[in-house]
Amino acid sequence: MPARVPAAPATVPCGAPASPVHASLALARYRVTLVALEPLELPTYLGSTLRGAFGRAFRALCCPARPGEACPASETCPYPLIFETAPPPGAEALRTHEEIPRTFVIAPPPASAPAYPRGNQAAFDPRFHGPGPLGSGRR
């Protein structure tokens, strides 16, 4: 279950308190354990490999679009909300960007040998934050 952490009141650069910002930040951390069904050769650092595999599996699971097609429900579909994060409508600071940083981080397992025999396990921790995947469900 995601935890909601209240934001601290904002301060102006000189240190005098400004009007408080009443917002919350949703956080969630999961543990995913993969088991090799056959012998695998993988890169020593698994971060980008896990991100790609997670993205493909997540899109296949929740997005109504076929592979290679744009999502027809991009305002409500979880895949573009997490993997193709756009600035919120009316965001002044982000208006010049088509995409903004993703609302997740994958903490891969420590670097290890590239060979994974059948039955070997690798665990990773995807962490989600912000209003995108956990809050309002809107971009």
How do residues 81-94 score in pLDDT, each as one tens digit?
Answer: 888 887 777 777 77
- CB 82 within 8 Å of CB 102: yes
Pairing of strands 3-6, 104-107: unpaired
Q: Is the pLDDT of residue 27 over 50?
A: yes
Q: What whole-number distance in Å separates Cα of residue 47 and Cα of residue 130?
A: 21
- CB 116 within 8 Å of CB 42: yes
DSSP at 11: B
CB atoms inside a 10 Å sphere around CB 65: 15
pLDDT digits (tens, 9 = 90+) for 34-92: 899 999 898 888 888 888 988 898 899 999 998 888 889 888 888 888 888 877 777 77
Q: Is the pLDDT of residue 127 over 80?
A: yes
Find the largest Cα–Cα distance for the chain.
61
Q: Supply the pLDDT for residue 9.
A: 42
Q: What whole-number distance in Å separates Cα of residue 44 and Cα of residue 110?
A: 9
- CB 86 within 8 Å of CB 94: no
Q: Supply the pLDDT for residue 23.
A: 59
Q: Which amino acid is at 75?
A: E
Q: What whole-number distance in Å separates Cα of residue 97 and Cα of residue 115?
A: 40
Q: Supply the pLDDT for residue 136.
A: 41
Q: Is the pLDDT of residue 137 over 60?
A: no
